[in-house]
Amino acid sequence: MTDELLTSIDNRVGTITFNRVATRNGLVPEVLERFMQAIKTFEADPAVRVLVITGNGPDFSSGGDKQFLKHIQQLSGEQIRTVIYASFLGAVRAVKLCAKPVVAAINGGAVGAGCEIALACDFRLMTPKSFLHENWTVIGLIPPLGGMYMLPRLIGAERAANMVMRAQRVYGDEALAIGLASKVVPPETLLQEARVFAEDLAARSPRALALAKAGLRRGMEGTLAGEWEFNVLAQSTLTTGPDFAAALSALDLKQAPKY
């Protein structure tokens, strides 16, 4: 049986690859449980500085597996809430709350739950033909995993409404223009470009990156006064730490710091 989730580590970058090609990387709870465990393992591994998430085959992820979606019709509301919170929402939370930077390399479609996972990443690299698609209203549902919270903050209320209510696809070039993608690259170089992008992040202070990620997330949710307090505390921790000392020493030597 083909392994449905692949993981690898290379040059301080941990890669997680959805590998259910026959279903266009349709998502099921069992795979998402392994996905969450992979993030937890990489987060705890000091050899990994940055995570990359991608999919094998033509798509990043087509969202919930069609057979699984048919199955949930037979479940109670309580069972559906348990499934969503334990696996689908759990996967998005694992990405969003990971202390390390997470880069999505979006090949083809990131649809439904796949789109929500991509939105939870810190950075998204796309191709001209890859797309983000909140297709929920097409099937009589709403985005339940955070997209309706994140999208208005990322791209504004009306663009978010077009994506959520009208289920409009956003392709690579438009995603770049409106701030949903960091870079658009040819499909044949997507993974290579994602690794270069991730390795650039991996060369930076891991402590600073972790606090910057937490600060950016808090900034979307809190008040300016509260963020001033958090940022001053975080900065005081960083200025007395080893990464800042290494950076100052490298500056004196006119070298790039090594963390």
pLDDT at position 70 is: 83
pLDDT at position 242 is: 92
pLDDT at position 6 is: 98
The residue ranges of every structural domain in the chain are 5-202, 206-253
Question: Which class does domain 5-202 fall in?
Answer: alpha beta
Partners of 184 in beta bridges: 126
> How would you classify residue 41: left for phi > 0, otherwise alpha for psi between -120 and 50, otherwise beta?
alpha
Task: Say which residue the tokens 């992008």 belong to.
Answer: 197
pLDDT at position 135 is: 95
pLDDT tens per residue across span 183-221: 999 999 999 999 999 999 999 999 999 999 999 999 888
Distance CA(60)–CA(5), nearest Å, equals: 12
pLDDT at position 74 is: 82
Q: Which residue ranges of the chain lie beneath pLDDT 70?
A: 1
